[in-house]
């Protein structure tokens, strides 16, 4: 079987890495890796390939940043040519980014079997671009690989037949399990964004005595009022406990656009640093007291690590991290009280969902062999 595996944006890379390793030298499945180029710079893409030992993509569509329609169209145009040339038997997409939906649409119309890893997740919030990508991808995929039982239930409700659904666990946790020990030996010294100063473990912030923060959802950071309110809240919290924030380019751009840098600089324990590579980021999370985030992946990683996670969103497509894991959904005005609860030693703990054990890629390869 000739199988094209698609990756486009940062959260895709830690999902495809274990799969590429498990398929290396496979006797009957030939994996062809296509990078759409949705994320393109070293910090958002290149360093993940290096650290996770992902082979150089066979093809890079180099689509770059653009509006949703333009980016999606560019990916479709480039990917159609790839499919015409490569004639794959199947295309495997992961996650919920624009690359996921665009490539599924192309392959499906060409009659190529499509496999969606991380199928069935639903936030039921169509204001999120990712939710539209999930719905589109799952409406036309042929094989559905899921990470948790709620995803299976969502797919069944959408009339997907049960024999097409495979609950096999979480590839992101495969990457975490494989790399945690190595990650925890990386140097914890970071250059502050826009400054000459560096900060490091042991002097500026102590292991287990800081929070790690990530925010990049359009719903939180694209609106001036909401981002300004967030900066004030982060600042207030940082006066009680240091906050380390590897800043996503979308958030960084908006901070500059809305003139918020000066306000940020007035808080001395609010540490804004460049986006981190995988190893340093995992290290930063694994030794943190809590995470404060709007990301999807971090909800899963903290659940595995059993570190309290406060997710500032009205909903999550990953509810298993709430009912089983250490994740809590909170509103903006609950941040301060929830952080205080953690500082008082009452942070939420949980258990690990089924099959989040580091062996998901092996299970996926078995299913691929049977297709």
Which of 15, 35, 39, 348 touches ligand UD1 (CB under 6 A)? Answer: 39
| Binding residue (CB under 6 A) for ligand UD1 from 4, 7, 10, 170 | 10
- Check binding of 315 to ligand UD1 (CB under 6 A): no
178 close to 171: Cβ distance less than 8 angstroms? no
- Residue number with CB closer to ligand UD1 (39 or 283): 39
Whichever of 18 and 246 has its CB closer to ligand UD1, that residue is: 246
- Cα–Cα distance measured from residue 368 to residue 371, given in angstroms and rounded to the nearest whole number: 5
**Binding range to ligand UD1, per CB under 6 A, among 37-45, 259-267, 346-354, 355-363:** 37-45
Is residue 329 a contact point for ligand UD1 (CB under 6 A)? no
Tokens 């910090």 correspond to 43
- 102 or 365: CB nearest ligand UD1: 102
With CB under 6 A as the contact rule, the residue among 1, 73, 129, 241 that binds ligand UD1 is: 129
**Residue ranges in 92-121 that form contacts with ligand UD1 under rule CB under 6 A:** 96-98
Q: Which is nearer to ligand UD1, 93 or 199 (CB)?
A: 93
Stretch that binds ligand UD1, among 40-48, 75-83, 299-307, 321-329 (CB under 6 A): 40-48
Options 90-98, 150-158, 191-199, 335-343: segment touching ligand UD1 (CB under 6 A): 90-98
Asked if 250 touches ligand UD1 (CB under 6 A), the answer is yes
Closer by beta carbon to ligand UD1, 123 or else 238: 123
How far apart CA 195 and CA 21 sit, in angstroms, is 38
- For the beta carbon of residue 81, count every other beta carbon within 10 angstroms: 12
Tell me how many residues contact ligand UD1 (CB under 6 A): 19
Residue 17 in contact with residue 278, Cβ under 8 Å?
Answer: no
**From 4, 7, 11, 169, residue interacting with ligand UD1 (rule: CB under 6 A):** 11
Closest CB to ligand UD1 among residues 97, 244: 97
For 147, the token pair is 């990470």
With contacts defined by CB under 6 A, name the span among 35-43, 79-87, 257-265, 362-370 that binds ligand UD1: 35-43
Q: How far is the CB of 96 from ligand UD1 (least distance, A)?
A: 6
Q: Of the residues 35, 39, 116, 216, which is catalytic? A: 216
Instruction: Please select the residue that binds ligand UD1; options are 53, 65, 208, 266, rule is CB under 6 A.
Output: 65
- In three state form, how does the secondary structure of the chain look? CEEEEEECCHHHHHHHHHHHHHHCCCCCCEEEEEECCCCCCHHHHHHHHHHCCCCCCCEECCCCCCCHHHHHHHHHHHHHHHHHHHCCCEEEEECCCHHHHHHHHHHHHCCCEEEEECCCCCCCCCCCHHHHHHHHHHHHCCEEEECCHHHHHHHHHCCCCHHHEEECCCHHHHHHHHHHHHHCCCCCEEEECCCCCEEEECCCECCCCCEEEECCCHHHHCCHHHHHHHHHHHHHHHCCCCEEEECCHHHHHHHHHCCCHHHHHCCCCEEEECCCCHHHHHHHHHCCCEEEECCCHHHHHHHHHCCCEEECCCCCCCCHHHHCCCEEECCHHHHHHHHHHHHCCCCCCCCCCCCCCCCHHHHHHHHHHHC
216 is catalytic: yes
Nearer of residues 102 and 361 to ligand UD1, judged by Cβ: 102
Shortest approach of ligand UD1 to residue 44 CB, angstroms?
Answer: 3
Is 216 near ligand UD1 (CB under 6 A)? yes
- Choosing from 38, 141, 175, 321, the residue that interacts with ligand UD1 (CB under 6 A) is 38
Give the interface with ligand UD1 as residue ranges (CB under 6 A).
Answer: 9-11, 38-41, 44-45, 65, 96-98, 129-130, 216, 248-250
């Amino acid at each position: 079987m000739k199988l094209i595996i698609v990756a486009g944006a940062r959260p895709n890379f830690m999902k495809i890495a274990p799969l590429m390793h498990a398929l290396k030298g496979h006797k009957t499945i030939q994996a062809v890796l296509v990078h759409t180029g949705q994320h393109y710079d070293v910090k958002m893409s290149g360093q993940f390939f290096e650290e996770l030992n992902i082979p150089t993509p066979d093809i890079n569509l180099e689509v770059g940043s653009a509006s949703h329609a333009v980016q999606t169209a560019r990916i479709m145009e480039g990917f159609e040519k790839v499919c015409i040339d490569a004639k794959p038997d199947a295309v495997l997409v992961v996650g919920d980014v624009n690359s996921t939906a665009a490539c599924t649409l192309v392959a499906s119309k060409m009659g190529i079997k499509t496999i969606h890893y991380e199928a069935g997740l639903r936030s039921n919030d169509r204001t999120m671009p990712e939710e539209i990508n999930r719905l589109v991808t799952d409406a036309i995929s042929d094989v559905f690989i899921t990470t948790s039982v709620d995803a299976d239930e969502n797919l069944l409700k959408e009339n997907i037949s049960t024999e097409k659904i495979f609950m096999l666990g979480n590839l992101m946790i495969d990457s975490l399990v494989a790399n945690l020990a190595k990650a925890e030996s990386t140097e914890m010294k970071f250059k502050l964004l826009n400054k000459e100063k560096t900060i490091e473990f042991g002097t500026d912030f102590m292991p287990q005595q800081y929070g790690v923060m990530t925010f990049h959802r359009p719903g939180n950071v694209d609106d001036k009022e909401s981002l300004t309110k967030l900066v004030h809240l982060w600042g207030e919290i940082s006066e009680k406990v240091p906050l380390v924030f590897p800043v996503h380019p979308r958030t960084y751009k908006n901070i500059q656009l809305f003139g918020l840098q000066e306000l940020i600089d007035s808080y001395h324990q609010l540490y804004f640093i460049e986006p981190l590579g995988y190893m340093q980021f995992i290290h930063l999370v694994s030794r943190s007291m809590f995470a404060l985030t709007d990301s999807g992946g971090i909800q899963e990683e903290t659940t595995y690590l059993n570190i309290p996670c406060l997710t500032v969103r009205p909903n999550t497509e990953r509810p298993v991290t709430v009912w089983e894991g250490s994740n809590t959904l909170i509103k903006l005005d609950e941040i301060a009280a929830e952080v205080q609860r953690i500082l008082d030693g009452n942070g939420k703990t949980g258990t690990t969902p089924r099959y989040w054990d580091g062996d998901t890629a092996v299970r996926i390869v078995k299913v691929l062999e049977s297709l």
